Amino acid sequence: MRGGWFGVLLFLCLAAALLFLTLPIAAIFVDSSPGELIDSLGEQGALDALWLSLRTTAAAIVIILLVGTPAAYLLATRSFRGKALVVTLIELPLVLPPAVAGIGLLAAVGPSGILGGTLDAAGIELSLTTAGVVVALTFVASPFYVRQAMAAFAAVDRSLLDASRTLGASEARGFLRVMIPVAVPGLAAGTALALGRALGEFGATLMFAGSFQGITQTVPLAIYDRFSTDFAAALALSAVLVAVSGAILLSVKLVQGGAALGGWQAD
Amino acid sequence: MLSIQAHTTLGSMRLDVELAVAPGECLALAGPSGAGKTSALRVAAGLLRPAEGRVEANGETWLDTTRGIDVPADRRRCGYVFQDYALFPHLSACQNVAYPLRGLSRHERRSRALGLLERFGLAARAEARPGTLSGGERQRVALARALARGPEVLLLDEPLSALDARTRAGAARELAAVLRESDAPALLVTHDFAEAAQLGDRVGIIDHGEVVQEGTASELAAAPSSAFVADFTGAVVLTGTASRGPDGLTHVELDGGGTVTTTDDGDGAVAVSVYPWEIAIEPAGVQPHGSTQNHLTAEVLSITTIGNRVRLGLGGPQPLAAEITLASAERLQLEPGARVTATWKAAATRLVAA
Amino acid sequence: MGRLWWLLLLAVCAAVAAGCADDDNGGGGSDSESPTRLVVSAAASMTEALEQCGPEFGTAETADVKMSFAGSDELAAQIRQGAKVDVYAAANTRLPDDLHADGLLGTPVEFATNEFVLAVTKDSEIDSVEDLTMEGTTMVIGSESVPIGSYTRETLAKLPPDQEKAILANVRSNEPDVKGIVGKLTQGAADAGFVYVTDVNATNGELRAIKLPAELGPQVTYGAGVVSKSEQQALGQRFVDGLTDGACADALEEAGFGPAP
């Protein structure tokens, strides 16, 4: 084989990594029959969990895209005093364990938190509500997107923006019609990461929003609720989550591939 | 009329330029990399704000640091061609050209853009993405895009340097034609003096952020103000018509009279170039001897001493410049008005873009 | 430069080994000279009590006691999945009995009782179970599979149906263990929840316990046993015995648990 012992070593490492990563996923599908899986999915609690996960993740992603994209653009194209600090702060939730994220959210916007009184007075309830779930998901998932978006924007050739301005387009127009379309592959990757993170969020959601069917019990929480009493149901939900995550990754690849082939019509 | 005054520090370099370009004129700014040429363009476009400066275009003040005026780049009507063209990769050629057209219906924008592309011979490639266009095609799209909304001022950053030698010839011809047709003052920067000479009505040599000499290309070649300018201005360029000779050489009938021979291959309308320091001077009337093939009679118009060298500006049907040692010039007792023969080798003669 | 790479490789291997090892006493020794290990899975409600006496038991027996606390149902599930646990102590008798019936646990012993109470914040206006039926009261209870959750539903089922329905309608979260319920209450996210009196005690006054009428409250009996596959049968049995009579029994009593029935 090419490469001698080094080549063999590389191959072994890849094989080990592949096995380690795919075995648990494969086991989810192998451990129960398709019939059992489908039955468990028909159960109302599972359906509620799936629908709730999709709704809350979608809401979180929308917020992240709307707020995070311009923020990432600013960070990628301007420099200012204290920028390194700002970037670190934004990336911080990335390295926070979910439990710490949960504590943080409680301490900030929980009923006894810093803003608790203000929110209460404004009639906004976050704890134990679906809105609370969206808040938790947005918190843990946004750094994943913002970071990728920053890198994507920074990688866009500056002369494209300059060109846009010399052609009479304001910075806002240049942002919408040049920056974003050209950065789409990176933005798509960031969205996929954030989506995956939000779909899988457990600890912060449980601590901050609680676990109640249809209101706050997302798929990961539902899996946890079921695994000690109804392992088959837990498997079924896990299988769905794996399938959805796989679909997300696939669509991101398609978007990136499409972009590479020559971008999409922005006119 | 475009006038640019900029005085500022960029990193470790100073930029101190004062330029003026008349309407319909093209001023070519030539200099080595890092001389500040692109910075001058960016100041004009509004992409770079100097500490002190003024930019006026056709009566409108675009920048005046003393009065706090700084019109944003997107409100200055510049046609800027970037060095790497900066075409939007996600838009087709037609959409790129249509990008600056605002306030028109979709249909009108498209037809205007198509019209421009047609003018540049790119109608067939209108729907292609920049990634699939050749270097020369991209350069033309960039040019079309810059011209699309009839800019007040044309700014070109090394418009030919990204092209391979072969494409460059045709592109230079086209660009020269566009510049001639346009009423807008044009400022072009390049590191290649021959390019500057070909495209610019006047040439300014810029070094270390300052314009060290300005004039027509032949003035600069004939009477360089410093060794730097002398070395930078390089070749003499003569235009003519070429045909292949039976001796395996190419013969060029120069416009205005005279013939030169070159070892390069060519046909039709061409330009020949030779470096002044490859031209030897003989008193007129001496019979040709030795291996040099090219001989042109000319009159000494100017003598510029640079250290131990002398630049001779020679007048003939086309201007020439020769560089010989001070000692030789003295020995030949050269003075303005003297008739001499400029002689040089066919092998030292290059065929370049016409 | 080559030397540096080898040192780096060595350091990485050491780090991985240390990461996989279990605790400050070093990884589990296989020879008889290093301390024996005892893994105890106990219901979350016993956290404060056992965290004290567990290490004490370990010192006395020259053993390394590792405790893990969670909902009793989750712990039982782990044992069913083959987790290497030596002792199992649950917040009810049903889970240990089920494991015993399946041959996974030795004969369970009832070692303590707890009181099932209604917990509210210390300045709450709620005084009784009836108050919970009021609209707008937020309740947090345990999920169905965890003992605290099944006790809760058992209790509520004893109420008149419309009361039970009203209270259940006010439930906003089904927590996987008591600690989650307590957390929501202390954070002010909910008005009331059903927990054990020992949990209220552990909050040091943050929460107040409302006793339930005798006929309403469930009999909360804690059961424990030695896992059948454990290699520490004798040591494990001594630990279980200690829950009824010993340092751990004292600790449980101090925390508010009742004696074995």
Q: How confident is the model at residue A90 (pLDDT cuts 50, 70, 90)?
A: confident
Rg value, chain C, Cα:
21
- Total CB pairs under 8 A between chain A and B: 83
User: Could B129 and A164 be called an inter-chain contact, meaning their C-beta atoms sit closer than 8 Å?
Assistant: no
SS3 for B298? strand
What architecture (CATH level 2) is domain B2-233? 3-Layer(aba) Sandwich (3.40)
CB A218 within 8 A of CB A49: yes
CA quadruple B149, B150, B151, B156: dihedral sign: positive
Residue A1 has pLDDT above 60, yes or no: no
Residue A146 has pLDDT above 50, yes or no: yes
All residues of chain A having their beta carbon less than 8 Å from the beta carbon of residue C71 are: 228
Q: Does A210 touch chain C (CB under 8 A)?
A: yes
Minimal CA separation from A168 to chain B, in Å: 4
How far apart, in whole angstroms, are the C-alpha atoms of residue C251 and residue C179?
19
Residue A213 has pLDDT above 70, yes or no: yes
Number of H helices, E strands in chain C: 10, 10
How far apart, in whole angstroms, are the C-alpha atoms of residue B114 and residue B136?
18
Q: How confident is the model at residue A265 (pLDDT cuts 50, 70, 90)?
A: very low
CB B199 within 8 A of CB B172: yes
Share above pLDDT 90 across residues of chain C, in percent, rounded to a whole number: 45
CB C50 within 8 A of CB C42: yes
Q: What is the domain partition of chain A in residue ranges?
A: 1-30, 43-260
SS3 for B193? helix
* pLDDT, tens digit, 9 for 90 and up, residues A161-176: 999 999 999 999 999 9
Instruction: Identify from A228, A230, A235 which residue to disrupt to test chain C contact, counting C C-beta atoms within 10 A and taking the largest count.
Output: A228
DSSP character at residue A175: I
What is the average per-residue pLDDT within A233-262?
Answer: 78
Q: Does B180 touch chain A (CB under 8 A)?
A: no
User: Could B88 and A182 be called an inter-chain contact, meaning their C-beta atoms sit closer than 8 Å?
Assistant: yes
* pLDDT, tens digit, 9 for 90 and up, residues B172-210: 888 988 998 888 999 999 998 888 888 889 999 998 889
Residue C8 burial by Cβ neighbours in a 10 Å radius (0-12, 13-18, 19+): exposed
Residue A266 has pLDDT above 50, yes or no: no
Q: What are phi and psi of B151, to 5 degrees?
A: -70, 160
- Angle at which helices A231-260 and A219-226 pack, to 10 degrees? 150
Residue of B nearest to A167 (CA): B100
CATH class of B236-352: mainly beta
Q: Does B78 touch chain A (CB under 8 A)?
A: yes
Nearest to A222 by CA among A212, A232, C230, B62: A212
Tell me the domains of chain C and their CATH numbers.
36-113+220-255 (3.40.190.10), 116-210 (3.40.190.10)
Query: What local confidence, expressed as pLDDT, does residue C34 receive?
Result: 66
All residues of chain B having their beta carbon less than 8 Å from the beta carbon of residue A169 are: 74, 99-100
CATH class of A43-260: mainly alpha
How far apart, in whole angstroms, are the C-alpha atoms of residue C63 and residue C59?
6
Q: What is the domain partition of chain B in residue ranges?
A: 2-233, 236-352
Residue of A nearest to B154 (CA): A166
Mean pLDDT computed over every residue of chain A: 87
All residues of chain A having their beta carbon less than 8 Å from the beta carbon of residue C143 are: 211, 225
User: Could B74 and A159 be called an inter-chain contact, meaning their C-beta atoms sit closer than 8 Å?
Assistant: no
Query: What local confidence, expressed as pLDDT, does residue C104 receive?
Result: 93
Would you put residue B50 in left (φ > 0), alpha (ψ -120 to 50) or beta? beta
**CB within 8 Å of B128: residues ≥ 6 apart:** B92, B93, B137
All residues of chain B having their beta carbon less than 8 Å from the beta carbon of residue A164 are: 74, 88, 99
How far apart, in whole angstroms, are the C-alpha atoms of residue B303 and residue B322?
10
Query: What local confidence, expressed as pLDDT, does residue A152 receive?
Result: 95
User: Could B89 and A263 be called an inter-chain contact, meaning their C-beta atoms sit closer than 8 Å?
Assistant: yes
Q: Which chains touch C (3 or more CB pairs under 8 A)?
A: A
Residue of A nearest to C142 (CA): A211
The residues of A whose Cβ lies within 8 A of any Cβ of B are: 157, 159-160, 162-171, 177-178, 181-182, 184, 259, 262-267
Smallest Cβ–Cβ distance between B82 and the set A159, A169, A171 belongs to: A159
H or E element in which residue B244 lies: strand B236-244
Residue C25 has pLDDT above 70, yes or no: no
How far apart, in whole angstroms, are the C-alpha atoms of residue A156 and residue B286?
64
Q: How confident is the model at residue A3 (pLDDT cuts 50, 70, 90)?
A: low
ipTM of the complex: 0.78
All residues of chain A having their beta carbon less than 8 Å from the beta carbon of residue B82 are: 159, 162-163
SS3 for B285? coil
Smallest Cβ–Cβ distance between A210 and the set C71, C175, C188 belongs to: C175
Residues of chain B short of pLDDT 50, as ranges, are 354
Q: Which chains touch A (3 or more CB pairs under 8 A)?
A: B, C
All residues of chain C having their beta carbon less than 8 Å from the beta carbon of residue A110 are: 187-189
Q: Give the helix ranges, DSSP H, for chain A.
A: 4-30, 34-42, 44-77, 83-95, 98-109, 116-121, 130-154, 158-166, 171-174, 180-200, 203-209, 219-226, 231-260
Rg value, chain B, Cα:
23
Q: Does B129 touch chain A (CB under 8 A)?
A: yes
Query: What local confidence, expressed as pLDDT, does residue B352 receive?
Result: 65
**Touching chains C and A? (3+ Cβ pairs < 8 A):** yes
Q: What are phi and psi of B263, to 5 degrees?
A: -80, -15
Residue C24 has pLDDT above 70, yes or no: no
CB B258 within 8 A of CB B296: yes
Report DSSP letters for C141-201, one per residue. EE-TTSHHHHHHHHHHHTS-HHHHHHHHHTEEEEESSHHHHHHHHHTTS-SEEEEEHHHHH
Residue B180 or C29, more confident:
B180
Nearest to C46 by CA among C79, C75, C80: C75
Share above pLDDT 70 across residues of chain A, in percent, rounded to a whole number: 95
Nearest to C189 by CA among C239, C140, C247: C140
Residue C184 has pLDDT above 80, yes or no: yes
Minimal CA separation from A267 to chain B, in Å: 7
Minimal CA separation from C138 to chain A, in Å: 9
H or E element in which residue B220 lies: helix B217-222
**CB within 8 Å of B222: residues ≥ 6 apart:** B301, B302, B304, B311, B312, B313, B314, B319, B321
